[in-house]
Chain A
Amino acid sequence: MAHPDEPQRALNEPAASRFGHDIIVAAIAGFGAFAMLFAIYLAIVVPGKWLSGVSERVWPASDLVLAGGTGAVHGGALVVSAPDATGTTLVTLTTDIRSADFLGVEWDIKGLPDGADVRLLWKSDVATRRTNLANGVVEAGGLRTFVLARDPSWIGHINGLALAIRTPLAAPISIERVVARPLGALGIMRDRLREWTAFEGFNGTSINTLTGGADAQDLPLPPFVAAGVALAALLLIGLARIAPRVYAIGAACTIAGLFVAGWFVVDARWAWNLAHQTRATWGTYAGKTLAEKHLAAEDGELFAFIEKARALMPATPVRVFVAAGEHYFRGRAAYHLYPHNVQFEAFRDTVAPASWMKPGDWMLVYHRRGVQYDASRKLLRWDDGPPISAELKLIEPPGAALFLIQ
């Protein structure tokens, strides 16, 4: 006779065995559902043969020619700082590929403004005098792969590619490489995996939103996993109804279990990303003092200047007016200056009027156009306003200065 506290092994074992069996069935159904969904996705997006014997062709930035616009190859990327006089940036590339082997062309580009008019141009040996074109889709500062399988002009040997971008450039764009892709099933699977597992480091927008991998994704992971969970749930609930001997777990447990499993699949990606971020944070800041951490941060140069400025300012708080062209620098400069009594405009590039200032106040200028100082007369003015008397206390090129209002 068993002790009352001992588990009822003989009775539990068949139930446990049955549960284990059902879990295996659920796992098979789950994998099957995801495989089925991915197969459907591939059937929709693979433009040609599923299995291609051709490897992708890659051209580095050094092979690119900037035919229109201003820029140079820097750090392994063609950095374009300005378009030509007509507002067009034109980048060309000499190629020799069979159009039938390569159904997609990817330009690995960063910094494209939203709404930019981007076109792929190409020449083939079929109609040598004709320049063909396809419209590009800008997404998250990059460019979606040009899929040319159904373009009748994508024919013969392609002996030249070009990218035309018609947009003003507020900031430089960079092109790292051009890739001709066969767009077979394996290649597309690799692309999706690469997008899902792309490292998304913390940046200024992370506190608001996370993309969950690459900036632009053809098939985001959350909807794919959610669809897989839903399909697996349908399969298993149907199986429990049709063949309860094969699978007997109730619908609620099935749905909840699959949801939790799906959750941890997506979470594994996030955990992996977070681990990379933690390693990056460790690499940047571990073992440093607070000041060294700030110097290692994105605004380290500004921090160093503010530290010098603070050393020249009184120990007790004084009023300081901050002028900087970029709102990031205005806010960061002000933050580093507290507990001095700082005035800054967080969102607009405006400087306080001279009438607000009185002797003993300070003004810190950081990379701000329109500020002029006449050293001989000790007069400071900005934005064509009236000059006020001020003494230059600190200056660091380019464009960082501290003034004491007199």
Chain B
Amino acid sequence: MNALGILMVLVAWCGVWLMGTSLVLAMRTPRAWDAPGEAAWTKGAGFLLGAFVLTLWMRALSAIGIAFGILSIALPLLLLTAAALWIARRRGSLAWDALRSTIVEAFCARELDGWRRYAWLAIIAWLALRLAMLLVDVTLQPLYPWDAWIQWATKARVWFELKHIVPFVDLDRWVAAQGAFYTDSSPNYPSTVPLWQVFSCIVLGRFDDVLMNLPWWMLGLAFPIAFYGALRRMGFAALAALAGAAIIVTLPLVDVHVALAGYADLPMAAYFTLAALALLAALETRDRGDWMLALLFAIACPMIKNPGIVWLLTLAVPVVVALMPRIGVKVALAGFAVALVALLVLAQVSPTVMGYRLHLEFSPPWGALFDSLFMLGSWNILWYGVVAGAAFGARDWLAPRIAPLTMLVAAGVLFLFVVFAFTNARAWVETQTTINRAVLHLAPLIVAWTMVTFRAWSLRRDAHATVAAHDLAGAAG
């Protein structure tokens, strides 16, 4: 029964994945499948797009009063998949054989030789083992972590049983409504993640708070594939890109968020990262498909978790920097300065925004922050690598092709800093309850940025060495 349930949910979510991939194919301009990273990016981003479109459709169904069911959800999405595939085929974007062979080639790494191939295969095997362990955990463990059952799956349970979305409201409105509305500890949280759980349960035909969490495992598979594709598209060699993706898969905190599924932080990180990477690609390629993907993933951010609205706003920074190459960086820096001045103004008042009391009490919990990032086991040695990589590449932070990403990362870091240094969220840092989850939203993008800046340093160093060798040869000649 359990194996059949797992299979049913996996097949259903593979359908969602196919739908998303077909939409990506329909949106993007035709490309050669063997171009580095294209197949991986399309496949990985496809899952995230499909999972988001699924919830948009479920919202629409609820809005027009049609009950959730296999047919009402899946049939229109199947038609959408077929339409997207038809468009992709007409535009010459669809080449299944090429796609399949590209993926097979990628897994077998035939293009790599010698030690690189062995390293590739070893890393793939290591990641496969990790994902297998996580699959066992996620398919056996009933919903476990705290917030998952006081503010996320509460909605999933109700919406699954009632077969439509009913409002969750704060306590005052709940009392006044005399039973018409529901309440939980965070009634204002977005519905995307609960709707994933509802869809899994609809497929199963019962509320199952174990198997409803399988999309987290699939996200843990799809997100690194997309991340790998994005790194390849940025010009990284296959092995380097795989190492970058492996860092994401093997981050202990990411693994825990897959194994103990039910929180929105890993989805938040995945959608924000892909929105940023698609946006950065669009700014370079001006490809319509990249723009559309960036837009859709950006729209998804606030629909995953409330802080997503701020992550969405940070995406404006690289646009400004890229579209105004001469003054963009200055404009962004001026914006950061304005933000800091605004904090000084906030010293005079104490408004509450999104549940966080804003008041200037500058007292960053450095000790707890340092422990979280550098001493404990949540992040492996990530932040040592980030500090070192960023330091090596410091001279290249504002290089024309890197500046948009640098300023985006700076905006994200500034946001986290403001939240944890100036607001009452500081207490959650000291108790180690929120700091890592908040940092997780930005961490994958920081991995990409560190790799880019480190590569820039490496290339500059190589160029310097070549010039020096030429000079030496010239002098000797």
B247 at the interface (CB under 8 A from A): yes
Chain A residues with CB under 8 Å of B175's CB are 356
Q: Is the CB of A223 within 8 A of B374?
A: yes
Whether B96 sits at the interface, judged by CB under 8 Å, is no
Q: For A262, list chain B residues within 8 Å (CB).
A: 381
Instruction: Assess the B179–A282 pair: CB atoms within 8 A.
Output: no
- A290/B150 contact (C-beta < 8 A), A210-B376, A285-B141, A346-B185 known: no
CB distance from A229 to the nearest CB of B (A): 7
Cβ < 8 Å to A, chain B residues 435-465: 435-437, 454-455, 457-458, 461-462, 465
* Per-residue contact bits, chain A 245-283, to B (CB 8 Å; 1 contact, 0 not): 000001111011001101110110011001101100110
Q: Is B432 an interface residue (CB 8 A)?
A: yes
Number of A-B contacts (CB under 8 A): 202
CB <8 Å contact, A210 and B185: no
Among B121-174, those with CB < 8 Å from A are: 126, 129-130, 133-134, 136-137, 140-147, 149-151, 153-154, 157-158, 160-162, 171, 174
**Bound state CA distance, A77 and B164, in angstroms?**
52
Q: B34-42, B219-227, B251-259, B268-276: which one contacts chain A? A: B251-259
Residue-wise interface mask of B (366-390) relative to A, using a CB-CB cutoff of 8 A (1 in contact, 0 not): 0000001011111111001100100
Residues of A within 8 A of B436 (CB): 208-209
Q: Are B384 and A222 in touch, CB under 8 angstroms? A: yes
Given contacts A19-B115, A209-B376, contact A335 B183 (CB under 8 A): no
Q: Which residues of B are found within 8 Å of A23, using beta-carbon distances?
A: 115
Residue ID in chain A nearest B133 by CB atoms? A278
Say yes or no: A208-B434 contact (C-beta < 8 A), given A260-B243, A331-B150.
Answer: yes
Identify which of residues 301-342 in chain A touch chain B, using a CB-to-CB cut-off of 8 Å: 317-319, 331-332, 334-335, 338-339, 341-342
Contacts of A12 in B (CB 8 A): 114
B-side binding surface: helix, strand, loop or mixed?
helix
Report A-chain residues with C-beta under 8 Å of the C-beta of B458.
250-253
The verdict on A211 contacting chain B, using a C-beta distance below 8 Å, is yes
The 0/1 profile, CB within 8 Å of B marked 1, for residues 181-223 of chain A is: 0000000000000000000101011111111110000001111
Any A CB within 8 A of the CB of B263: yes
**Binary interface profile of A, 338-377, with partner B (CB < 8 Å = 1, else 0)?**
1101111011000000001010000000000000000000
What's the minimum C-beta distance from A240 to chain B, rounded to whole angstroms? 11
- Bound state CA distance, A343 and B458, in angstroms? 58
B146 touches A222 (CB 8 A): no
Q: Which residues of B contact A282 (CB under 8 A)?
A: 136, 140
Contact A208 B381 (CB under 8 A): no
Tell me if A297 counts as interface (CB < 8 A to partner B). Answer: yes
In the bound assembly, the distance between CA atoms of A356 and B184 in angstroms comes to 16
Q: Is B1 an interface residue (CB 8 A)?
A: yes
Q: Nearest CB to that of A16 among chain B residues?
A: B114
**In the complex, residue of chain B having the shortest beta-carbon distance to the beta carbon of A213:** B377
Q: What's the tally of chain B residues with a CB closer than 8 Å to chain A? A: 80
Point out the residue from B160, B260, B377, B379 that lies within 8 Å of A207, measured CB to CB. Answer: B260
Given known A281-B141, A293-B142, contact A206–B377 (CB-CB < 8 A) = no
The answer on a CB contact under 8 Å between A212 and B376 is yes
Q: Which chain B residue shows the least CB distance to A286? A: B140
Least CB distance from A218 to B in Å reads 12
On whether the beta carbons of A270 and B146 are closer than 8 Å, the reply is no
Q: Confirm or deny: A86 has a beta carbon within 8 angstroms of a beta carbon on chain B.
A: no
| Nearest Cβ on chain A to B242's Cβ, whole angstroms | 10
Contact between A338 and B158, CB atoms less than 8 A apart: yes
Residues of A within 8 A of B350 (CB): none
Q: Is the CB of B247 within 8 A of A263?
A: yes
Contact A210 B253 (CB under 8 A): yes
Q: Once the chains bind, are B256 and A210 in contact (CB under 8 Å)?
A: yes
Alpha-carbon gap, A48 to B432, bound state (A): 36
CB distance from B162 to the nearest CB of A (A): 6
Asked if A202 and B259 make an inter-chain contact with CB atoms under 8 angstroms apart, the answer reads yes
Complex Cα gap A226–B436 (Å):
19
Q: Are B381 and A343 in contact (CB under 8 A)?
A: no
Tell me, yes or no, whether A128 is within 8 Å of chain B by CB.
Answer: no
- The answer to whether A274 touches B377 (Cβ under 8 A) is no
Min distance, Cβ B256 to any Cβ of chain A, angstroms = 5
Verify A222–B381 contact, CB threshold 8 A.
yes
In the assembly, what is the distance between CA of A274 and CA of B133, in Å? 7
Q: Which residues of B contact A332 (CB under 8 A)?
A: 149
Residues B157 and A339 in contact, CB atoms below 8 Å apart: yes
A277 to B134 alpha-carbon distance, docked (Å): 10
* Nearest B residue to A268, CB-CB: B126
How does the 8 Å CB contact mask read for B62-81 relative to A, with 1 for contact and 0 for none?
A: 00000000000000000000
Chain A residue numbers with a CB within 8 Å of B208 are 290
Question: Chain B nearest CB: distance from A16 CB in Å?
Answer: 6
Q: Nearest residue in A to B379 (C-beta to C-beta)?
A: A222
B113 interface contact, C-beta 8 A:
yes
A207 closest partner in B (C-beta)? B145
**B-side contacts of A255, CB under 8 Å:** 388, 392, 454
Q: Once the chains bind, are A281 and B158 in contact (CB under 8 Å)?
A: no
Distance of B244 from chain A, by nearest CB (Å): 10
Closest partner residue, chain B, to A298 (CB atom): B144
B30-48 vs A, CB cutoff 8 Å, 1 = contact: the mask equals 0000000000000000000
Asked if B174 and A343 make an inter-chain contact with CB atoms under 8 angstroms apart, the answer reads yes
- B255 & A274 in contact (Cβ 8 Å cutoff): yes
Instruction: Apart from A222-B384, A251-B458, A318-B179, list 8 A-B contacts with CB within 8 A.
Output: A202-B260, A205-B432, A208-B437, A222-B377, A252-B462, A259-B388, A317-B162, A331-B185
Provide 24 A-B residue pairs closer than 8 Å at the C-beta atoms, listed in order of the A residue: A7-B113, A19-B115, A200-B377, A204-B146, A205-B432, A206-B260, A209-B432, A212-B377, A212-B378, A222-B375, A226-B384, A250-B465, A252-B461, A256-B240, A256-B243, A256-B454, A270-B377, A274-B134, A290-B206, A294-B142, A318-B179, A331-B149, A338-B154, A343-B183
Closest 5 CB pairs of A and B: A212-B377, A252-B458, A346-B185, A226-B384, A339-B161
B residues near A (Cβ < 8 Å) are: 1, 113-115, 126, 129-130, 133-134, 136-137, 140-147, 149-151, 153-154, 157-158, 160-162, 171, 174-175, 178-179, 182-185, 206, 208-210, 240, 243, 247, 250, 252-253, 255-257, 259-260, 263, 372, 374-381, 384-385, 388, 392, 432-437, 454-455, 457-458, 461-462, 465
